[in-house]
Amino acid sequence: MTHALDDAQLVVPLGSGCRLGSHRVLEPKGALPQAAWKLDNTPRAYANEILCDVETLNVDSASFKQIAEACGGDALAIAAQILATVNERGKQHNAVTGSGGMFVGRVAEIGPALASRDDVAVGDRIASLVSLTLTPLRIEAVDTVDVATGQVRVCGQAILFESGIYARLPDDLPTDVALAVLDVAGAPAQVRRLAKAGQTVCVIGADGKSGVLACAQARDRVGREGCVVGIVPHAGTPAAELLLERGYVDRLVVADARNALAVLAALPEALPALADLVVNCVNVSGTELASILCCKDDGTVYFFSMATSFTAAALGAEGVGKDVTMIVGNGYAKGHAGVALQTLRDHPAIEEYFVARYGARPPRES
Amino acid sequence: MTHALDDAQLVVPLGSGCRLGSHRVLEPKGALPQAAWKLDNTPRAYANEILCDVETLNVDSASFKQIAEACGGDALAIAAQILATVNERGKQHNAVTGSGGMFVGRVAEIGPALASRDDVAVGDRIASLVSLTLTPLRIEAVDTVDVATGQVRVCGQAILFESGIYARLPDDLPTDVALAVLDVAGAPAQVRRLAKAGQTVCVIGADGKSGVLACAQARDRVGREGCVVGIVPHAGTPAAELLLERGYVDRLVVADARNALAVLAALPEALPALADLVVNCVNVSGTELASILCCKDDGTVYFFSMATSFTAAALGAEGVGKDVTMIVGNGYAKGHAGVALQTLRDHPAIEEYFVARYGARPPRES
């Protein structure tokens, strides 16, 4: 019993923090982590936190585009900018775009209050499914910046709060394919919940990443008696051909969803009785009214697109007197990562498409 | 048979237009009426239109505030500005705020294709429940401008499309009270659908116009076994006292809903098991996270507030790992006007409150 008081202090376990992470907020006091300017990024887990060794930051595309432009596309300058942000704020939160991204890393420590979790273990390779704008992050060094993809290899540590969500990276899929799927995991998971046997489902933006997964889940759920219709801006793309050839859609309509009248003109042929469920997966603004017009009275419009305007949706439905339930695409749903990854395993043609399009790194590379 | 060809042309009945009104769009071609710069305001009904003699424009408050400020609060200048807009665009669509309002008028003509409608007759006094931004309008003269309320008395005509919605003004309520209620009719109608017996409902902004009506419907629906909790920014207001004294809420929490941590701190006492249904009726931005935190996993958050940010809601729920269904407050629901007005008739204390607060003109004045 000869250790000094200071030594003893060092090994006192940390207690439990706020489950939302407010105990990590340095400025301004009283804010939650996403709204905060600066977080405490001390790389030591509170009793209800998970500490990770970070390998890669997947900076979101709006943020990366802004940084790259400000740095004239120079990888070293981009690295310096990211390091400066993280040093200043304790998180990768782009002050211009307000956005972050996600990280890939390995679990280094699980706080004792979370020890009973069966979905994660020390040593697991995981992707964070909460934004970097609320994730305490410390970076020792930036190794490489991939200007084409926005992937930044770093040496550092990050903290996941008790309320934070994450997914173990699968062994059977390339990391980049898994990330591409996890990024839009909410869409297939919600379609799986909302679509029912025999229904007509319309997926707007069916040829995008989330759209393809949404079509596959819709096809599974509505069955032989049901119908899946996709709306795409261009015919003949690899995704459009995949959807048609493999029967993930019964019909593909080529129309610009920003042009409500053009979509309306296509409806008598494409959706004579309109859709029970409309899934908006388009990544451009101004498609709310077309989505509403495709939906039956008493039907549901699910807006997964982050380009959705709340007021355009609310006033659009009122303006055309449509009594539809419009749902905000929650990025999280219980089990969404599993559902999204399983969609690829259940549909080899879709896995093949994703691997061709997004795959680069092999699984479990280090 | 001596009338000239020109005379015959004049009495040829008009055919049916597009049910959404695109046949009235002059510029740009191919737009829908809300997005259009200029509408054809010819005061003659197509076969599937309703022509009204307009008495009053209820310019929406954002638009009226902008016009009044630009005109230095001068009623004559405001009248001239409104006349200029309507003459130029064929609708009262404020180009700065992008918003409109609603009108009150008397039905002058119902096109033959709509003759079977049983909810409206020639001579009825109605309020339009679609925005003035998509309503063809012609004004002969502006009589008075009430700078305090944004109500503009005019002599003019307006067109309702086949898809347009409206409500007959009731005989038993002052016009201004009916308008105040119809303006937020979606809120009580949706709460009536969503709240179930025995549930816990939390109304954020319970002391506003839509909040009071939402509390009354929630109380009716959840019954004795259920619980209604209101969140208000200030104690002791007439609305807060009404809600507590008449038992429309079981508990009132005083908290600023923009401060998510303050709301979180109040939850163990106010909503120990959280709410099955959260209704956001607050007219300020930044309350999405507090709304989500009040809701149980698998519960529903209904955002009636037009100040809701789609991304703040979507990313907020993901950031705290909450699997909740978030619904965009559709301004329209079948029968919403009837449900909203009936709420007052069923609850004399609420009617009394609305009459004291919003009532001025007697019903059926001319």
Of B31, B134, B313, the CB nearest to A319: B134
Q: Which residue has 């096809």 as its token pair?
A: A219
Suggest the residue from B117, B277, B320, B325 to mutate for an interface test with chain A (most A CBs closer than 10 A): B320
ipTM: 0.88
State the Cα angle at A256 between B316 and A218, rounded to 5°: 60
Confidence of residue B1 (pLDDT cuts 50, 70, 90): very low
Question: Higher-confidence residue: B288 or B284?
Answer: B288
The answer to whether residue B3 scores a pLDDT higher than 50 is: no
Cβ of A313 within 8 Å of Cβ of B328? The answer is yes
Side-chain half-sphere CA neighbours of A240 within 13 A: 14
Nearest beta carbon to residue A164 from set B308, B321, B324: B321
**How high is the pLDDT of residue A363?**
52
Strand partners, A110: A50
Residues of chain B with C-beta less than 8 angstroms from the C-beta of A324: 330
Give the separation between CA B261 and CA B286, rounded to whole angstroms.
Answer: 13
DSSP single-letter state for residue B214: H
Determine the 3-state secondary structure of A101 from DSSP: strand
Question: Could you tell me the pLDDT band of residue B361, with boundaries at 50, 70 and 90?
Answer: low
- The per-residue pLDDT for B149 is 81
* Amino acid B29: pLDDT: 87
Q: Is residue B77 over pLDDT 80?
A: yes
Q: Give the per-residue pLDDT at A362.
A: 52
Write phi, then psi, for A144 (nearest 5 degrees). -140, 155
Q: Which residues in chain B are closer than 8 Å to A328, comparing Cβ atoms?
A: 303, 310, 313-314, 326-328
Interface of B with A in 252-271 (CB under 8 A): 259-262, 264
- B272 close to B301: Cβ distance less than 8 angstroms: no
pLDDT higher than threshold 90 for residue B350: yes
Task: Find which of A22, A120, A315 to mutate to test the B interface (most B CBs within 10 Å of its CB).
Answer: A315
Pull the structure tokens for residue A357.
């399009």
Which of the listed ranges A154-158, A308-312, B34-38, B60-64 does the model predict with the highest average pLDDT?
A154-158
CA atoms within 13 A on the CB side of A76: 0
Specify the higher pLDDT residue, B201 or A176.
B201
Strands A275-280 and A295-303, how do they pair?
A: parallel
Judged by CB atoms closer than 8 Å, whether chains meet at A321 and B130 is answered as yes
For the purposes of burial, counting CB atoms within 10 Å of the CB of B241, is it exposed (0-12), middle (13-18) or buried (19 or more)? middle
Residue B228, pLDDT score: 98
Selection from B253, B249, B261 nearest residue B293 by Cα: B261
Which chain B residues are Cβ-neighbours of A316 within 8 angstroms? 34
* Residue B290 confidence (pLDDT) above 80: yes
Alpha helix stretches (DSSP H) within chain B: 5-11, 61-70, 75-89, 175-182, 186-194, 209-222, 238-245, 260-270, 288-293, 310-319, 336-346, 348-358
What is the band of B364 on the pLDDT scale with cuts at 50, 70, 90?
A: very low
Distances (CA, A) of B196 to A298, B217, B237: 19, 11, 29
- Put simply, whether B164 touches A (Cβ < 8 Å) is yes
Cβ pairs bridging A and B (under 8 Å): 131
Q: Please judge whether A317 and B334 are an interchain contact, meaning their C-beta atoms are less than 8 angstroms apart.
A: no
Q: CA B51 → CA B22, B137, B157, B169, B364, distances in Å?
A: 16, 10, 7, 16, 20
**How confident is the model at residue B27, as a pLDDT?**
94
pTM of the complete model: 0.89
- Which pLDDT tens digit goes with each residue over B307-325? 899 989 998 999 999 999 9
Q: Give the three-class secondary structure for A299.
A: strand
> What tens-digit pLDDT sequence spans chain A (366 residues)?
344 444 444 456 788 999 999 999 999 988 899 989 999 999 999 999 999 999 999 998 888 999 999 999 999 999 999 999 999 999 999 998 888 999 999 999 999 999 999 999 999 999 999 999 999 999 999 999 999 888 899 999 999 999 999 999 999 999 989 988 998 999 999 999 999 999 999 999 999 999 999 999 999 999 999 999 999 999 999 999 999 999 999 999 999 999 999 999 999 999 999 999 999 999 888 999 999 999 999 999 999 988 899 989 998 899 999 999 999 999 899 999 999 999 999 999 999 999 998 876 555 443
pLDDT at B306: 84
Confidence of residue B36 (pLDDT cuts 50, 70, 90): very high
Q: How far from each other are the two terminal CA atoms of chain A, in whole angstroms? A: 42
Q: Scanning every residue of chain B, which has its alpha carbon at the shortest distance from the alpha carbon of A311?
A: B306
Per-residue pLDDT of B146-165, as tens digits, reads 998 888 999 999 999 999 99
CB within 8 Å of chain A, chain B residues 72-101: none
pLDDT digits (tens, 9 = 90+) for B202-234: 999 999 999 999 999 999 999 999 999 999 999
- The reported pLDDT for the residue numbered B360 is 65
3-class SS of residue A113: helix
The vertex-B103 CA angle with B352 and B47, nearest 5°, equals 130
User: Which stretch of A213-217, A235-239, B60-64, B291-295 has the lowest confidence by average pLDDT?
Assistant: B60-64
Which pLDDT belongs to residue A1?
A: 39
Quote the pLDDT of residue A8. Answer: 43
What's the whole-number average pLDDT of chain B?
A: 92
Summarize the confidence of residues B120-144 as an average pLDDT: 96
pLDDT at B252: 97
